Amino acid sequence: MPNKASPVFAVVGHPNKGKSSIVSTLSHNDNIQISSRSGTTENADHYTVNTQQGSYDLVDTPGFQRPVKVLAWLEQHCSSANERALAVAMFVKDPECQQLFKDEVALLEPIVAGAAILYVVDGSRPYGVEYEAEMEILRWTGQPSMALINPIENSDYIEEWNNALAQYFKSVRVFNPMKAEFEKHIELLQTFTHLNPAWAQTLSEIIQDLQDKRLQQQAFSVSILSQLIDDLCQYEICQKVLTQAQAKTVQPILDRQYKEWMKQREQSAVKKLLDNYAHFQTQVSLEQFDLPPDLFDCDQWFAWGLNKKQLVVAATAAGAVSGAALDAAVAGSSFMLGSIGGGLIGAGSAWFGADKIVDIKIKGLPIGGYQACVGPIKNRNFPYVVIGRFIHLYRQISQLNHANRQNLNISTSDFQDKVESLEKSAQKELNRACERLIKQKPVDNLEAILTPLFSTK
Ligand SMILES: Nc1nc2c(ncn2[C@@H]2O[C@H](COP(=O)(O)OP(=O)(O)O)[C@@H](O)[C@H]2O)c(=O)[nH]1
Ligand SMILES: [Mg+2]
């Protein structure tokens, strides 16, 4: 049962207008059933949003089914305005009504018990008089209320709805549960504070908590990436064998195991990122998430979600290559990796040289026998690829509303813009850090260096 002092909001309306979607997004719960079939929500379900200092409840309700008949019942049982709220209370307790008007009883019960009303309509469908009976019923309850226009497909009828809703509700807002950004969730909660002055204090604390939590989630995302790069850059797999021939045989097996480990490690980081934002149902497609079949082929890295220009820009952020040289390299050559390494920067300091990407060695051991090893990764692009993929996913996951149940892909990346928008000194720091990582040297302040990449601006 909800705490007496904690605010309760009943989300009500016609079937299929996005009530469950709004509850899902505002409660950060991706386990709430959303369906194009109407009548999916059969009972009033309470979802408690717990924060550091407080909590509030959202009640997902079944849609109105027979509002005209319900209003007729209410009118029959009440002759003056001061008894209207009482008539609604009688209605939900009436055994016959409970049978005849199951949905209306379920949706009105929490309101009779003290919940504020969030009335949801679809701004992409025209307004119609058939909504008036349900709005009238809600008015009869006498509870604080607000209308939310959900532009499900478009915003075509928002104005029409605004005019109609203003007749019944003091506060009318547009809110899209699929797309609304975090700031919009907060804005909406802020307007809730006006619904019932008794809840204003609690809601303000909750808003502060949610904003703090958002920053913590960002900081945790940075640390997930920081550990991921560190692990991926360090990883090495070795096997002791007796003869050099055995070492050669074991090499491709190690190679496979190495790649598998790298893949798994990245996937576990993504899982952590999803958990961090309470997305427990979202899938990141495995195919799209595969490492390139041949990790030793630089060209394949583009499949990781960074295009050529992005790779060049990322790796030359400190200004190793001029803009003109960059354009020439990107435009002029499909074999840019090789040509930049050999031609533009000089073979000696090849950024993109098709030289060894991963160390592969077979060593004679002093106690006899041999050791075959794969790793660690040597290519200077590698940390950028890892960062680019992760940031791309971070942006999608941190912005993903819980009503939005689409799966994620990592086929494109806007990493390039992000690196370019960093201050020059930050770029240099990032560059230096990547250089050290690839040499398996520690970077003490890696999280601080990565943090600017996670800013939402
Ligand atoms: N594109 C889009 N679809 C939405 C939006 N809100 C709800 N829907 C879809 O509308 C249908 C009904 O949503 P639901 O939240 O279950 O509505 P309810 O019956 O009022 O609880 C589902 O198929 C949703 O995916 C929205 O803002 N945008
Ligand atoms: Mg529903």
Kindly report, residue by residue over 355-381, the tens digit of the pLDDT: 344 556 677 777 777 888 888 887 766
CB atoms closer than 10 angstroms to residue 369: 15
The pLDDT value recorded for residue 205 is: 94
Within the chain, which residue ranges are assigned CATH 3.40.50.300? 8-195
Count CB atoms within 10 A of the CB of residue 28.
16
pLDDT at 352 over 50: no
pLDDT of residue 133: 97
Cα of 21 from ligand 1 centre, angstroms: 6
Q: Is 103 helix (H, G, I), strand (E, B) or coil?
A: helix
Ligand 1 atom with least separation from CA of 23: 15
Residues sharing a CB contact under 8 Å with residue 248, sequence separation 6 or more, in sequence order:
362, 372
Q: Residue 306: is its pLDDT beyond 70?
A: no
Rounded mean pLDDT, 99-123: 96
- Which residue's CA lies nearest to atom 14 of ligand 1? 18
What atom in ligand 1 is closest to the CA of residue 177?
27
pLDDT of 239: 85
Does 35 contact ligand 1 (Cβ within 6 A)? Answer: yes
Q: What angle do CA 347, 349, 354 make, to 5 degrees?
A: 60
Alpha helices by DSSP H, listed for 113-175, are 132-141, 158-165
Instruction: Give the confidence band of 451 by pLDDT, cuts at 50, 70, 90.
Output: very high
Looking at residue 229, its pLDDT comes to 93
| Distance of CA 138 from the midpoint of ligand 1 (Å) | 22
pLDDT confidence of 241, banded at 50, 70, 90?
confident
CA distance 419 to 253: 37
What CATH number was assigned to the domain covering residues 8-195? 3.40.50.300
Average predicted confidence (pLDDT) for the chain: 80
pLDDT at 27 over 80: yes
Residue 312 has a pLDDT of 52
Residue 182 burial by CB count (10 A; 0-12/13-18/19+): exposed, middle or buried?
A: middle
Which residue reads 């307004």 in tokens? 127
Q: How far is the CA of 24 from the centre of ligand 1 (A)?
A: 11
**What pLDDT shows up at residue 360?**
63
| pLDDT classification of 447: cutoffs 50, 70, 90 | very high
Q: With 80 as the cut, is the pLDDT of residue 405 above it?
A: yes
**Per-residue pLDDT at 178:** 94
- The DSSP H or E segment spanning 55 is strand 55-60
pLDDT tens digits for range 253-290: 888 888 788 888 888 999 999 999 999 988 876 444 34
Shortest-distance atom of ligand 1 to CA 178: 27
pLDDT of residue 1 exceeding 80, the answer is: no
Q: What is the mean pLDDT of residues 201-227?
A: 96
Smallest-distance ligand from the CA of 36: 1
Is the model more confident about 242 or about 236? 236
For residue 222, pLDDT beyond 90: yes
Alpha-carbon distances of 17 from 21, 61, 94, 253, 354, rounded to whole Å: 9, 12, 28, 55, 55
Compute, in angstroms, the gap from residue 61 CA to the centroid of ligand 2. 6
Ligand 1 pocket test, candidate residues 34, 41, 118, most atoms within 8 A of CB: 34
